[in-house]
Structure 1
Amino acid sequence: MRPSVRWSGAGSSHEHAPRLRLGSTTLIAELEGRSPSGSPEAEVWFGDHPGHPARVPDGRALGDWLASPDAPEGTPDRLPYLLKILAAGSPLSIQAHPSKAQAEGGFAREEAAGIPRDAATRTYRDANHKPEIIVALSDRFLALAGLRDLAATRRLLAVIGSAAEPLQAVLDEHPDDAAALAAALAWVLSPAAEPAVSEIIAAATDAASDDFVEELALVRHLQSHYPGDPGIVVAMLLNLVILRRGQGVFVPAGVLHAYVEGLGVEIMAASDNVLRGGLTPKHIDVAELTAILDPRPGPAPVLDPAAAGVRVFTGGVPDFRLTQVSSGPGAGVDMPVNGVAIAVATSGEVELTGAGTGSRCALRPGSAVLITPDEGSVSVSGSGEVFVAEPGQ
C-alpha cells in the first residue's frame, strides 16, 4: 500500500455533458459528506483510464505512476479494471457490451476502415470486453438487466392491449424465445416501427395492472425523461431489478441493461466499448447491437453474497472482483489482495494497514487508496465500510 498515491473521490463523467445531466445533484455529495455543488454529478472514477485517470499527489496520472520506477516490483503498467461510484439521478442509456472476441474483431474492422476513435459513430474504441458489476449503496437501486422470460412479457403486453399487437405479432413469428426477442428488439429500434412504438408507449403510460405495478410505473418514469424514445419499449422487454443496499447485479457480455435510479459502486473491465439500445440521443447501431446481443431470456443475474463482514462479488471473469468489507469496534478484518487493488470507503471511518510494509491509511467516504502487490493482504479497522477492487482469479 502506498499512502502517497491515495486520492479523494472528486471527478466527473467521461461521457461529458449528456451523461452529466443524468447524474444526481445530491447522492455523491452526501456520500462524501460535503455540500452539493449545484450541478449533476454522475460518476467518480478510480483507476488509470486515460479518459479520466486518478492522480497521485504530485499531479501525475495514476497510469504514469504505475509505469514509473516509483511503483514497487511486480506492479503492472495498467490496471485490468475500472472502479466507479455511480449516481443515477435520471435513467441512463440501455446498453450491451461485446465479448472479447467480438471486441477484437470489431475494433480491427473499424481501425481498417479508418474511423476516428473519437467519432460519434465509432462503436469499438478498443479491443477489450466490458463485463461489469454494480452494487447498490442506496437503500433502493433501480436497474434493468437481461431479457425477461417471454411468457411474462406476453402478459405485460396483453395488459397494454391492442396497441401492443404489432409487437406481439413479431414475437409470434419465431417459435424460439431467444430468436423472437432478438427480432422484437431489432423491430422496435427500426424506423418502420416508429408509429407502432408511439402507440405502445401511449397505451402503456395509461395502463394499470396489479401484476406489473413497478414495470408500468417505470414506463411513465422513462416517458417523462425520454418522450417517445423506442428504448421505453425495449425496457418493457427487460427484467426490472430493484436492489437493496448491498445487493449487486452482474452484467456479462451481450446482456442488455440500464441503471435507472440510485447510488452504487461499479467495477468493470477497462474498456469503452458500448452498444446502445435506447434512452439516449447518441448513435445506435442496431445491426451491431443485435449481432453481439445475448437474446436468451431469464432472470436477472443478481448477486447477494451471504457472508457477513467480507462479501465477495464476482462474475467469474479474470479482469476483476469486488469485495465489500464491513468493520466495527474491536479487531480488524483481514483480507488477502490479488495484484494491484483499489480500496474506496463508502461509510464511516476506516483505517487500512498493509501486511507487507506496515503502512497505514485512514479513509473517509469517497476517498480511496492504491494497494500495491507487495502488501499481500490488508487489515481493515475502525467502524465503516470499504469496497476493494482487484483483478479476478
Structure 2
Amino acid sequence: MLVPLSNVPRDYDWGSRDAIARLQGRPASATPEAELWFGDHPGAPAIVEDGTGRTLDAWIADEGEERGLTGPLPFLLKLLAADAPLSIQAHPTLDQARVGYAREELSSVPRDAPHRNYRDANHKPEVIVAIEGDFEALAGFRPADELVELLDVLGVDDPDVARLRAGLLAGGGGAGSAIASFVGALLAGKVGGAAALIAAAHSRGVSRFADDLAALEWIEGAYPGDPGVVVALLMNRIVLTEGDALFVPAGVPHAYLRGFGVEIMAASDNVLRGGLTPKHVDVPELLRVLDTRPGRVELLAPEAATPGVEIFAPPVPDFSLTRVTREAATDPETVLQLVGPAIAVATRGRPRLHGVGGSLALTPGVACLITPDEGSVRVGGTGDVFFAQPGR
C-alpha cells in the first residue's frame, strides 16, 4: 500500500526561510523552516493524507498489522535546511542509551525536562546527503598533526593549550585523552586561553587554514562567547557537494553549519550537546559518550546497484537510504526491491510510484509510506526519489 504523507516544518531558529519552500514550489516562509519529518516518531509524526487527520503512528497502530507493519519504524527520514550552525552534539551507543534512559527513568526525570539527556533507550546514528549546492558540516576531531599545526599557526601562549599540544604530540591514546581533557575544561569555562584562541582566529594571516578560520569567525558571530566555538576549531570542517553523504556513528561530535540535505537516522531523540547552543550541556555525560580520537572523517560512498540507483548503506541495522534518479520519462521503469517498510520522498522532478496497491505521483517535498506487503515498487516519470528502509 502506498500511503501519502505530509508534515509541518519544524521552526528551529537555525532553519532556512526559503529552502524547503523553494523545493515545494511555494513562497518563502516568514519564519525559519529547519526540518520536515517523515516518520512515526512522537516528536513530530507525519500526517497521513487519507482524509482522517491521523498521524502516522496512529495509522500504524490502526492499520499497520494487516499491511505487515507490526511496530514503530526503526528510522526517521527528514529534509534538513540550515542557514545557521546547529549545536555541536554526539549521540550514545545503544548500550549507553539503554543505561542512561533507565537511570533517568529511575530518578523520575520528566521526559520533557530541559536537562534530560536520554528521552528514549535507542541510539541515533545518522546520514546526511546533500541535495542542493554545498552542505557544510563539522565532524570528528582533526588529525593530531593537523591540530598541532593549527595551534602553532594561532600561537596562543596558554598552559591549557600547551598541555593539549603536548598530548597531541605524544600520539596514541594520549591524543584522545588530551582532547577530552581540553574539551571538558572548555565547556566548564576553565580554559583561560579560549578567548585568545578566538581572537587569534579573527586575526588570521594567509595560511592553509584560511577557509576554516573564516568559517569559525562566522560561527562565533552566531554564538559569541560560546565555548563551543573553540570546540568547533578542533573539528574537521567538511563540505559536501550535491550527492555526497556523511555518516555519523555513535560518539562522533558533529554540527551541521549550513546547507540543504536529506537526513536519515535511527528513531531516537538522544542528544548530548557540546556547545553552540543555549540548551543544557551536561559535560560529564557528554565526555562519557564522546569519541575524542583524532582523525579524518571519510564520506559514505554509495553502492551503484543498477543504473540510476545508489544505495547509502552505513554499518547499522536501523536504516539504509536509496536514491533513484530518472532523467527521462520514456526510460523503462526503475524496479526497486524493498526490505520491510519504506518511506519515499521526492527532491526533484515529477516521479511516480507504482505498487500492487496502486500508484502515487510525487512532487518535490512530498512523501509516502510503502507498506511491507508491497515487497517492491516501480518508479516512473523523472526526477530524484530517496527511499528510507531498514538496514540490509
Deviation at 1:165, TM superposition (A): 5.8
Change (3 A) 1:73 1:62: same
2:327 maps to what in 1? 328
Q: Output the amino acid matched with 2:46.
A: A
Q: Is residue 181 of structure 1 aligned with residue 179 of structure 2?
A: yes
2:264 maps to what in 1? 267
Secondary structure of 2:373's aligned partner: coil
| Alpha carbons 2:160, 2:182 under 8 Å: kept | no
Gap runs ≥5 in structure 2: none
2:128 maps to what in 1? 134
Secondary structure of 1:65's aligned partner: helix
Q: Is residue 219 of structure 1 aligned with residue 219 of structure 2?
A: no
Gap runs ≥5 in structure 1: none
1:351 maps to what in 2? 352
1:106 maps to what in 2? 100
Deviation at 1:294, TM superposition (A): 1.3
Q: Output the amino acid matched with 1:378.
A: V
Q: Output the amino acid matched with 1:143.
A: A
Deviation at 1:173, TM superposition (A): 4.5
1:378 maps to what in 2? 377
Deviation at 1:72, TM superposition (A): 3.1
Deviations 1:80-118 (A, max 9, x none): 110000001100000000000000001111111111111
| Alpha carbons 1:157, 1:168 under 8 Å: kept | no
Q: Output the amino acid matched with 1:95.
A: Q
Deviation at 1:170, TM superposition (A): 3.0
Quick one: percent identity of the two aligned structures?
A: 49
Deviation at 1:11, TM superposition (A): 1.8
Stretch deviating more after TM superposition (168-177 or 209-218): 168-177
- Superposition TM-score, scaled by structure 2 size: 0.94
Q: Output the amino acid matched with 1:310.
A: V
Q: Is residue 310 of structure 1 aligned with residue 309 of structure 2?
A: yes
Deviations 1:201-247 (A, max 9, x none): 11111112331122101111111100111111101111110000000
Q: Is residue 281 of structure 1 aligned with residue 278 of structure 2?
A: yes
| Alpha carbons 2:38, 2:78 under 8 Å: kept | yes
Q: Output the amino acid matched with 1:366.
A: G
| Alpha carbons 1:328, 1:381 under 8 Å: kept | no
Structure 2 residue aligned with 1:228, among 225, 229, 244? 225
Deviation at 1:358, TM superposition (A): 5.0
Map of 1:62-101 to 2, 5 A cutoff? 62-69=56-63, 72-101=66-95
2:34 maps to what in 1? 42
Q: Output the amino acid matched with 1:21.
A: D
| Alpha carbons 1:145, 1:238 under 8 Å: kept | yes
| Alpha carbons 2:87, 2:255 under 8 Å: kept | yes
Deviations 1:351-380 (A, max 9, x none): 0111xx151110000001110111111111
Structure 2 residue aligned with 1:170, among 161, 164, 167? 164
Between the aligned partners of 2:216 and 2:158, the Cα distance in structure 1 is 14
Q: Output the amino acid matched with 1:116.
A: P
Change (3 A) 1:161 1:369: same
Q: Output the amino acid matched with 1:127.
A: A
User: Over aligned residues, Cα RMSD in angstroms?
Assistant: 1.5
Between the aligned partners of 1:277 and 1:314, the Cα distance in structure 2 is 27
2:22 maps to what in 1? 30
Deviations 1:285-340 (A, max 9, x none): 11111111111122113113262511111211111111111012211111111111
Deviation at 1:146, TM superposition (A): 1.0
2:118 maps to what in 1? 124
| Alpha carbons 2:156, 2:193 under 8 Å: kept | no
Secondary structure of 1:90's aligned partner: coil
Q: Output the amino acid matched with 1:313.
A: F
